[in-house]
Amino acid sequence: MRFVLDNSVVMRWLLRDGSDDRLAYADQVLALMTQDASEAVVPGIWSLEAANVILKAQLKGHVSEARAAAFAALLLDMSISTDTRTSERALGDTLQLARRFKLSAYDACYLELALREGLTLATLDNDLRSAMLQTGVALT
């Protein structure tokens, strides 16, 4: 199964914060990632977003340098492919989606990717979930 993977889910795997429901959902997505037929697709900004959250968590003392490095290695080992067209869509479709649904451009690029590729989207972001409902993108 191919789906778009938002960092709001991925960072729950590292930080283990949020409600029980949110953590359970993140764990379901992680279990899906361990299946041979599953592949996550992410926009071009994804690795920078992930690196930034990992770094901030480490600097704030939420995770050790060793844990941060191990988590980054885990992500590199997963079946995650990066969309190469994120930037070329930024000032067009992504910007329009951000305006229409009052999303950040960062969040809108996940929605744009899901719409363009006809994929479901795994996210914990409430604003993004609301926009998904309005555009017909299904939650993974």
Give me the CATH number covering residue 27.
Answer: 3.40.50.1010
- With 80 as the cut, is the pLDDT of residue 36 above it? no
- What is the span of the domain harbouring residue 14? 2-135
pTM beyond 0.85: yes
pLDDT band at 128 (very low <50, low <70, confident <90, very high): very high
Residue 17 inside a domain? The answer is yes
Q: How far apart are CA 102 and CA 89, in angstroms?
A: 17
Residue 84 inside a domain? The answer is yes
How much of the chain, in percent, has pLDDT values that exceed 90?
97
How many domains does the chain fold into? Answer: 1
- With 80 as the cut, is the pLDDT of residue 13 above it? yes
Query: What are the angstrom distances between the C-alpha of 64 and each of 2, 54, 61?
Result: 32, 10, 7
Instruction: Output the six-digit token pair for 99.
Output: 């305006």
- With 90 as the cut, is the pLDDT of residue 100 above it? yes
Rg of the chain taking only CA atoms, in angstroms: 15
pLDDT band at 28 (very low <50, low <70, confident <90, very high): very high
Residue 140 inside a domain? The answer is no
- With 80 as the cut, is the pLDDT of residue 45 above it? yes
Instruction: Output the six-digit token pair for 138.
Output: 């299904």
Residue 74 inside a domain? The answer is yes
